[in-house]
Chain A
Amino acid sequence: MTDVTMADDVWADVEEGTEALLQDWQVNVGDSVAEGQTLVVAELVKTTHEIVAPVAGRIAEILVQSQDTFARGAVLARIEE
């Protein structure tokens, strides 16, 4: 299993306590994904960031739902290789 997270450097100079907002997932649990495929877009303050699959595999679990907020380091989904 590989965790899907938002790259940590995106959070580098962000105020403590700031949360990001997840837009709608472009994949569902069970879908096969390629490495580098965009899974979802997240908004952090006024910036948007594509979250891509770190490895190829199958989406095993989605832990942060569409339109939910999440904090630095949060695992958004898990990919089964």
Chain B
Amino acid sequence: MAEASLTLAAEDGTAAPASPPGPTRQSIPLTGMRGAIARGMTAGWQIPRVAHSLEADVSAVEAKRARLQAELGDSVKLTLTAYVLRAAALTLRAHPRLNARVSDKEIELMPDVNIGLAVSLDDGLVVPVLREVDRKPVEEIAREARTLAEGARNGTLSAGAYQRGTFTISNLGMTEVERFTPILHAPQAAILGVTRVIRRAVVKDDWISIAPMMGLHLVFDHRAVDGYPAAAFLGDLKRRLESAEDL
């Protein structure tokens, strides 16, 4: 109603009463980085996908990280993300179907484990790629992840730094989110969402104890991987993190 009377007033030729400028409609064009994000998400959303979630006890990883960090001092900041990257890379070697690129015609099992790490920017999201993660110690992964994230934020990475990924990790661990299903990064067969570590009451050997639990959320392309083998991958990743074996 208010709009109609305003229009009438304008048609009458009477001046509209002066009013303070209110909020105006804002248009953010889907070009540049937002355009690239829009295209990528739309492509990823077309894929027939399934999501699996579980929690992993990261006490052993936390202990290992604290020990190594004390040894290394300030030369590098070891992050839990670096441990998840290494654990995922080692687990992917045993589950090549999840380290794959999928097209209409084939599932290409990739020889290297190159993991894209989603980096959020002021207004956007980019995914630079860490190369051959399964062959690198955790401190090197931590250092590289930091360098890549900084390069992505400064816009100094080359175009190729965003390519040749075989798997992606999206970490929301710094937020309060406890569960999410990331969109696949086409043509990759799988993506892992990571959520924050929460101290929870868990049952261990018939006792209730408190453990730091991290959320792991796998989304996979069901054309390439079936539900059971994807669950086996996620279970192996959980066991790898909980034992901290080779991390």
On whether the beta carbons of A48 and B32 are closer than 8 Å, the reply is yes
- A11 CB–B CB distance under 8 Å: yes
* Interface 9-mer from A27-35, A38-46, A56-64, A73-81: A38-46
Chain B residues lying within 8 Å of A26, measured Cβ to Cβ, are none
On whether the beta carbons of A45 and B32 are closer than 8 Å, the reply is no
Interface size class on chain B is 10 to 19
Contact digits for B146-158, partner A, Cβ 8 Å, 1 yes 0 no:
0000000001011
- B7 CB–A CB distance under 8 Å: no
On whether the beta carbons of B35 and A43 are closer than 8 Å, the reply is yes
Contact digits for B108-127, partner A, Cβ 8 Å, 1 yes 0 no:
00000000000000000011
- B160 CB–A CB distance under 8 Å: yes
A46-B158 contact in complex given A23-B31, A23-B32, C-beta closer than 8 Å: no
Chain B residues lying within 8 Å of A18, measured Cβ to Cβ, are 159, 163
A47-B157 contact in complex given A14-B163, A15-B163, C-beta closer than 8 Å: yes
Chain B residues lying within 8 Å of A44, measured Cβ to Cβ, are 159
- B143 CB–A CB distance under 8 Å: no
Chain B residues lying within 8 Å of A15, measured Cβ to Cβ, are 160, 163-164
Q: B156: shortest Cβ distance to chain A, in Å?
A: 9
On whether the beta carbons of A14 and B159 are closer than 8 Å, the reply is yes
Give the CA-CA distance A46 to B161 in the complex, in Å. 9
On whether the beta carbons of A45 and B162 are closer than 8 Å, the reply is yes
Chain B residues lying within 8 Å of A23, measured Cβ to Cβ, are 31-32
- A13 CB–B CB distance under 8 Å: yes
CB under 8 Å from chain A, chain B span 144-201: 155, 157-164
Chain B residues lying within 8 Å of A43, measured Cβ to Cβ, are 32, 35-36
Give the CA-CA distance A13 to B160 in the complex, in Å. 5
CB under 8 Å from chain B, chain A span 4-21: 10-15, 18, 21
Chain A residues lying within 8 Å of B158, measured Cβ to Cβ, are 10, 12-13, 47
Chain A residues lying within 8 Å of B127, measured Cβ to Cβ, are 46
On whether the beta carbons of B32 and A13 are closer than 8 Å, the reply is no
Give the CA-CA distance A13 to B197 in the complex, in Å. 37
Give the CA-CA distance A43 to B162 in the complex, in Å. 13
Give the CA-CA distance A46 to B155 in the complex, in Å. 9
Chain B residues lying within 8 Å of A45, measured Cβ to Cβ, are 36, 159-160, 162-163
Give the CA-CA distance A21 to B164 in the complex, in Å. 19
- B33 CB–A CB distance under 8 Å: yes
Give the CA-CA distance A45 to B126 in the complex, in Å. 10
Contact digits for B29-49, partner A, Cβ 8 Å, 1 yes 0 no:
001110110000000000000
Instruction: Please name the residue on chain A nearest to B127 by beta carbon.
Output: A46
Give the CA-CA distance A55 to B35 in the complex, in Å. 31
On whether the beta carbons of B159 and A11 are closer than 8 Å, the reply is yes
Give the CA-CA distance A41 to B31 in the complex, in Å. 11
Instruction: Please name the residue on chain B nearest to A67 by beta carbon.
Output: B31
Which residues of A approach B to under 8 Å, CB–CB?
10-15, 18, 21, 23, 41, 43-48
Q: A13-B163, A15-B164, A47-B155 are in contact. List 14 more A-B contacts (CB 8 A).
A: A10-B159, A13-B158, A13-B161, A14-B163, A15-B160, A41-B32, A43-B36, A45-B36, A45-B160, A46-B36, A47-B157, A47-B158, A47-B162, A48-B33
